[in-house]
Amino acid sequence: MSDKKNIVEERKQLIEEVLEAYPEKAKKRRAKHLNVHEEGKSDCGVKSNIKSLPGVMTARGCAYAGSKGVVWGPIKNMFYL
């Protein structure tokens, strides 16, 4: 059990190290999206149902941009040929 606690503490310290790279305002917002899941808890505490910030690439935006370039790009080129 103490090994699991050590792992959780190490990962929490790692998250703190990652957050130190951000400016204070961004750090405060980003901290809501990073957390360590602890065994026995039903919720990890990560907030995901919030509006995205302008200029930040979300998973949805990444999927859209990827499909637009990877799928529609060659199809568009086919019509030009």
Boundaries of domain holding 2:
1-50
Are 15 and 35 in contact by the 8 Å Cβ rule? The answer is yes
Domain shared by 75 and 45, yes or no: no
Per-residue confidence (pLDDT) for residue 50, from 0 to 100? 67
Domain shared by 40 and 5, yes or no: yes
Q: How far apart are CA 14 and CA 34, in angstroms?
A: 10
What whole-number percentage of the chain has pLDDT above 70? Answer: 81
Helix or strand or coil: residue 12?
A: helix
Backbone φ and ψ of 17, nearest 5°? -65, -40
Residue 48 has pLDDT above 70, yes or no: no
Quote the number of domains for the chain. 2
Domain shared by 32 and 68, yes or no: no
Q: Which of 52, 39, 44 is nearest to 7 (CA)?
A: 39
Q: How far apart are CA 63 and CA 44, in angstroms?
A: 25
The model's pTM: 0.52
